[in-house]
Amino acid sequence: MLVKFCGLTRQEDADQAVRLGARMGGFIFHPRSPRGVRPETAAALDTGPLLRVGVFVEQDAEEIRAIMAAARLDLAQLHGGQSVECAQAVGAERVIRVLWPERYSHRALLYTALRRHAEACAYYLLDAGVKGGGSGRRLEWPDLCCLRAPHPWLLAGGLGPGNVRAALSMCAPCGVDFNSGVEDAPGRKNADKMAAAVAAANPKGNGNMS
């Protein structure tokens, strides 16, 4: 089980993510997001051993690669309509492909989408709604029970200390993505909520899920 904290904008939140044993830290490069940061801001944040993830919505492969270099990123989370060809140009081993299960009226259609992107990503992230992210909405977790994806997948969508344990009892992702559910305001994480969320996701462990 891996933990990702997305929408990082402050050093103290990155430090807390490291202390809690998170595997990934996410930075949003979307100018209309309240959690958006510039590449130089992300580059200045020390994230220690975290895999650094950039969330991209409208950028093409050339711009994504440039921002990844400038912000010292390890992975690109494609959160828009980027094509398979775009992902391949970024590098399949560096791509987290976001999919929205609510777009698909049947499980078979979701499987088709997972397979379509399999050669152009290393991870999937399944989010609530039909586009965007960070809204606080949650998925219908039982619908994802026994999901067999070609690559590891992360569960997102309004997860926090009050509901992540329930989510994990209904489906079995390889990781969880915390964002709005551990915030006091967009881009301002709450250290206690972050710790409680990790503890709830890993009740039998020691808090370190990396």
Active site residues: 6, 127
Task: Determine the Cα–Cα distance for residues 151 and 124; give it in Å rounded to an integer.
Answer: 7
Mapping DSSP to helix (H, G, I), strand (E, B) and coil, where does residue 6 land? coil
User: What are all long-range contacts of 165-173, with beta carbons under 8 Å and residues at least 24 apart?
Assistant: 165/200, 165/201, 165/203, 166/141, 167/138, 167/141, 168/201, 170/141, 170/142, 170/144, 170/145, 171/141, 171/142, 171/144, 171/145, 171/147, 172/145, 172/146, 172/147, 173/1, 173/126, 173/144
Q: Is 140 left (phi over 0), alpha (psi -120 to 50) or beta?
A: beta
Task: Determine the Cα–Cα distance for residues 197 and 1; give it in Å rounded to an integer.
Answer: 13
**Angle formed by the axes of helices 191-201 and 11-19, nearest 10°:** 30
